[in-house]
Amino acid sequence: MAGNLGILVDRSGIIALLDQSDRHHAAAREVFKTAALIVPATILPEVDYLSSKYVGEPVARAFLQDLTDGYFDFLPVDVSDLQ
């Protein structure tokens, strides 16, 4: 994670980053090296489900730990965002 560029990611980008067998894994890693990934709170349930199911629970937990450790920029959702 580096640079001033921030990219809002969806679940497919995070899964590609987490899953070494994903055909877009290498590209996702390169993006992560050059830009801050902004993870919206709204995708966390789906990322947790898919990563736990297909990549493994340890990977899902590691992602959440990396998120709380600041390796990604977290974008929370507030009620005012819905207005």
- CB-CB contact of 38 with 2 (8 Å): no
Q: Helix, strand, or coil here: 6? A: strand
Q: Domain tally for the chain?
A: 1
Rounded distance, CA 23 to CA 82, Å? 35
Residue 31 inside a domain? The answer is yes
Residue 63 inside a domain? The answer is yes
Domain of residue 58 covers 6-77
Instruction: Give per-residue pLDDT as tens, 33-70.
Output: 999 999 999 999 999 999 999 999 999 999 999 999 99
- CB-CB contact of 16 with 27 (8 Å): yes
Which two three-digit tokens encode residue 43?
Answer: 């995708």
Residue 47 inside a domain? The answer is yes
Query: Is 90 exceeded by the pLDDT of residue 82?
Result: no
pLDDT of 4 reads 67
Residue 1 inside a domain? The answer is no
pTM (two decimals): 0.85
Residue 32 inside a domain? The answer is yes
Q: How would residue 81 be classed by pLDDT, with cut points 50, 70 and 90?
A: confident
Residue 83 inside a domain? The answer is no
CATH code: domain of residue 41: 3.40.50.1010
Residue 30 inside a domain? The answer is yes
Q: How would residue 1 be classed by pLDDT, with cut points 50, 70 and 90?
A: very low
